């Protein structure tokens, strides 16, 4: 069993798997069950100001996107922050932290953009002896209409200002949770850093309409005939979250800023991917809401197995390992050639690769050979685009084989030409002389 312990902005947890601030962390009952199953930490469901709590709809608040076999790949919600009284939440947090001292317990907060409000709530949270706070600048629905959540997260100046207030008024670590509903994630991340935040976490949910009821012509989920946009999460948002994580990890200004990765984490593999792109911990919501807390067992076991096999002694060794390999398109090696290859023993002859390539790509896969059904890549036509690999129903049946010797029959060019990218390409009107070019500007 590998050592999965993590220390994130000073907060210790037995493993990097935290539950994100959401229904799974709404109250002591849930959180205790989660800890019992092995979750390393939780970010408590977002608390609001003292006073009458917010009110949720009493109709459907979720909508889902399903893939084959009704596998839930995307979840959309119109839930608000906690609808339980502040006092009760605080009492429970205090008790839970006392009972589970080895687990991380971070408290998510969202109060109006007024310094006094933040100061007041921070004081109350400190009394619980929770490990830290996460500022919810991400919720894209409901709360944002009231000037909170993503309404703050979309204005870097506000992020910086609130982060600074929080750092001024508490000794606890401050994590800023970012919204993906912006054009360039680096600006809010830079603002968080400028405000003194200890870390960022991302992503919160993506603004979305999950579907339309084509009988009633109302958006889903429908509340008495009407619908409102919600926040989208689950496996389907993982690629968006991975990119944003990488953007922050490799940005000159925010490089090194601790990141808690969120968005579609469902398996230990997803977690490793987030960590490789710079996340020190991961947070999970939809996977737990789909399968229950028990899935963390697979996450812990899988990560441990992976680390043992790869010889990683600590989670820290994985963090950021893929960041140096994330680059801009212009620096990709245009002389690298790969061709698809079909393993005839694995091929079940469904023909999907053929029709995909034939109709929508490069007409590079046969459907017949000697009058018989047969699927084979035509190297003269294959551009190595990977579409066939993507549509083939059999794992590893089609692979992309790097071509390192000989000549590419499609272009007639040698396969072993040295690295060269777009910045020097003759077709590029802005090309620089070859001599000036490096793989990527070194820092």
Ligand X SMILES: Cc1cc2nc3c(=O)[nH]c(=O)nc-3n(C[C@H](O)[C@H](O)[C@H](O)COP(=O)(O)O)c2cc1C
21 binds ligand X (CB under 6 A): yes
Q: By CB under 6 A, which span of 101-109, 205-213, 225-233, 352-360 interacts with ligand SF4?
A: 352-360
- What is the DSSP pairing of strand 206-208 with strand 199-202? unpaired
The number of beta carbons lying within 10 Å of the beta carbon of residue 175 is: 28
Catalytic residue, candidates 113, 139, 357, 397: 139
Write the DSSP assignment of 365-415 as a string of letters.
Answer: B-SEETTEE---B-TTT-----HHHHH-SSTTSEEEEE--SSB-TTT--BT
What, of other proteins, ligand X, ligand SF4, none, does residue 388 touch, CB below 5 to 8 Å by kind?
ligand SF4
410 binds ligand SF4 (CB under 6 A): no
190 binds ligand X (CB under 6 A): no
Q: How far is the CB of 110 from other proteins (least distance, A)?
A: 40
Binding residues with other proteins: total (CB under 8 A): 14
Q: By CB under 6 A, which span of 64-72, 265-273, 274-282, 361-369 interacts with ligand SF4?
A: 361-369
351 binds other proteins (CB under 8 A): yes
In contact, 31 and 286? CB cutoff 8 Å? no
CA atoms within 13 A on the CB side of 92: 19
382 binds ligand SF4 (CB under 6 A): yes
Q: Is 166 a catalytic residue?
A: no
Q: By CB under 6 A, which span of 15-23, 52-60, 208-216, 338-346 interacts with ligand X?
A: 15-23
Q: How far is the CB of 348 from other proteins (least distance, A)?
A: 4
Spatial distance between the Cα atoms of 163 and 167, rounded to a whole number of angstroms: 6
Contacts 24+ apart (CB under 8 A), 60-63: 60/220, 60/221, 60/222, 60/223, 61/221, 61/230, 62/221, 63/210, 63/211, 63/220, 63/221, 63/230
Supply φ then ψ for residue 182, to 5 degrees: -140, 170
Q: Return the residues of window 57-76 that contact ligand X according to CB under 6 A.
A: 75
89 binds ligand X (CB under 6 A): no
In contact, 288 and 265? CB cutoff 8 Å? no
What, of other proteins, ligand X, ligand SF4, none, does residue 81 touch, CB below 5 to 8 Å by kind?
ligand X
346-385 burial, b for 16+ CB within 10 Å, e for fewer?
Answer: ebeeeebbbebbeeebbebbbeeeeeeebbbbbbeebbbb
What, of ligand SF4, ligand X, other proteins, none, does residue 68 touch, CB below 5 to 8 Å by kind?
other proteins
Write the DSSP assignment of 261-277 as a string of letters.
Answer: EESS--SHHHHHHHHHT
Q: By CB under 6 A, which span of 16-24, 189-197, 246-254, 360-368 interacts with ligand X?
A: 16-24
259 binds ligand X (CB under 6 A): no
Choose among 165, 237, 245, 244: nearest CA to 208.
237
Q: Return the residues of window 354-413 that contact other proteins according to CB under 8 A.
A: 354-355, 367, 373, 393-394
Q: By CB under 6 A, which span of 14-22, 192-200, 358-366, 370-378 interacts with ligand X?
A: 14-22
Under the rule (CB under 6 A), what is the footprint of ligand X?
20-23, 45-46, 75, 77, 79, 81, 108, 136, 138-139, 177, 204-205, 233-234, 237, 262-265, 284-287
Residues making contact with other proteins (CB under 8 A): 68-70, 348-352, 354-355, 367, 373, 393-394
């Amino acid at each position: 069993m590998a050592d999965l312990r993590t220390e994130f902005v000073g907060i210790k947890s037995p493993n990097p798997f935290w539950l994100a601030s959401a229904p799974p962390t709404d109250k002591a009952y849930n959180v205790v069950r989660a800890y019992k199953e092995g979750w390393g930490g939780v970010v408590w469901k977002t608390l609001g100001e003292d006073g009458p709590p917010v009110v949720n709809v009493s109709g459907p608040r979720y909508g889902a996107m399903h893939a084959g076999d009704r596998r839930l790949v995307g979840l959309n919600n119109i839930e608000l922050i906690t609808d339980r009284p502040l006092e009760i939440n605080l009492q429970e947090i205090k008790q839970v932290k006392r009972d589970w001292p080895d687990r991380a317990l971070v408290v998510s907060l969202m109060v109006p953009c007024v310094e006094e409000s933040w100061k007041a709530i921070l004081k109350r949270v400190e009394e619980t002896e929770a490990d830290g706070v996460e500022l919810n600048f991400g919720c894209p629905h409901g709360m944002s209409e009231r000037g909170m959540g993503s309404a703050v997260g979309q204005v870097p100046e506000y992020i910086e200002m609130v982060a600074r207030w929080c750092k001024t008024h508490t000794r606890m670590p401050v994590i800023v949770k970012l919204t993906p509903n912006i054009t360039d994630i680096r600006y809010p991340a830079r603002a968080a850093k400028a405000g003194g935040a200890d870390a960022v976490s991302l992503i919160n949910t993506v603004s979305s309409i999950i579907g339309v009821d084509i009988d009633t012509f109302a958006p889903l989920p429908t509340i008495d005939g009407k619908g409102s946009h919600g926040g989208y999460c689950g496996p389907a948002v993982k690629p968006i979250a991975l990119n944003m994580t990488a953007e922050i990890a490799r940005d000159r200004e925010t490089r090194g800023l601790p990141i808690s990765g969120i968005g579609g984490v469902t398996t230990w593999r997803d977690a490793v991917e987030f960590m490789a792109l710079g996340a020190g911990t991961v947070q999970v919501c939809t996977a737990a809401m789909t399968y229950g807390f028990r899935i963390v067992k697979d996450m812990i076991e899988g990560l441990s197995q992976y680390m043992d096999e790869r010889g990683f002694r600590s989670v820290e060794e994985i963090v950021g390992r893929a960041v140096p390999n994330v680059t801009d398109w212009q620096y990709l090696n245009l002389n690298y050639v790969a061709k698809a290859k079909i393993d005839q023993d694995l091929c079940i002859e469904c023909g999907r690769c053929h029709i995909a390539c034939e109709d929508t790509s490069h007409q590079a896969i046969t459907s017949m050979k000697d009058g018989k059904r047969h699927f084979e890549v035509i190297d003269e036509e294959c551009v190595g685009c990977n579409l066939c690999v993507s549509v083939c129903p059999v794992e590893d049946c089609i692979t992309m084989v790097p071509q390192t010797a000989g000549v590419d029959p499609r272009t007639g060019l040698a396969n072993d030409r040295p690295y060269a990218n777009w910045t020097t390409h003759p077709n590029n009107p802005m090309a620089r002389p070859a001599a000036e070019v490096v793989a990527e500007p070194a820092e």
